[in-house]
Amino acid sequence: MINAQTVYVVLFGNPVAHSLSPQMHNAAFQHLGLNMVYLAFKVEEAVEAAAVMRTLGFQGASITVPHKQAIIPHLDEVDEMGRAIGAVNTVFAQDGRLMGYNTDWLGVVRALEQVTELRGKRCLILGAGGAARAAIYGLQSRGAQVFVMNRNEERGHRLAAEMDCTSVDWQSWDRLDVELVINATPVGMSPKPDQSLVPKHWLQGRTAVLDMVYRPLKTKLLREAEAAQCLCVSGLDMLLYQGAAQFEIWTGKKAPVDIMRRALIEPLEDEADQDH
Catalytic residues: 68
Measured from the CB of residue 33, what is the shortest distance to ligand NAP in angstroms? Answer: 27
Closer to ligand NAP by CB, 93 or 138: give it.
138
* List 102, 103, 167, 185, residue binding ligand NAP (CB under 6 A): 185
247 forms part of the interface with ligand NAP (CB under 6 A): no
218 forms part of the interface with ligand NAP (CB under 6 A): no
98 forms part of the interface with ligand NAP (CB under 6 A): no
Which residues in 13-32 contact ligand NAP (CB under 6 A)? none
Number of C-beta neighbours around residue 33 at 10 A: 7
**Mask 152-181, x = binds ligand NAP (CB under 6 A)?**
x--x--------------------------
Measured from the CB of residue 211, what is the shortest distance to ligand NAP in angstroms? Answer: 8
Closer to ligand NAP by CB, 45 or 76: give it.
45
129 forms part of the interface with ligand NAP (CB under 6 A): yes
* Whether residue 216 has a cis bond before it, omega within 30° of 0: yes
239 forms part of the interface with ligand NAP (CB under 6 A): yes
Length of the chain: 276
Amino acid occupying residue 4: A
Count of residues binding ligand NAP (CB under 6 A)? 26
* List 61, 106, 212, 232, residue binding ligand NAP (CB under 6 A): 212
* Whether residue 15 has a cis bond before it, omega within 30° of 0: yes
Stretch that binds ligand NAP, among 115-123, 138-146, 182-190, 221-229 (CB under 6 A): 182-190
Contact 38, 9 (CB under 8 A): yes
* List 12, 29, 101, 214, residue binding ligand NAP (CB under 6 A): 214
Contact 214, 239 (CB under 8 A): yes
In the complex, the residues that contact ligand NAP under the rule CB under 6 A are 65, 104, 107, 127-132, 150-152, 155, 184-187, 189, 197, 212-214, 235, 238-239, 242
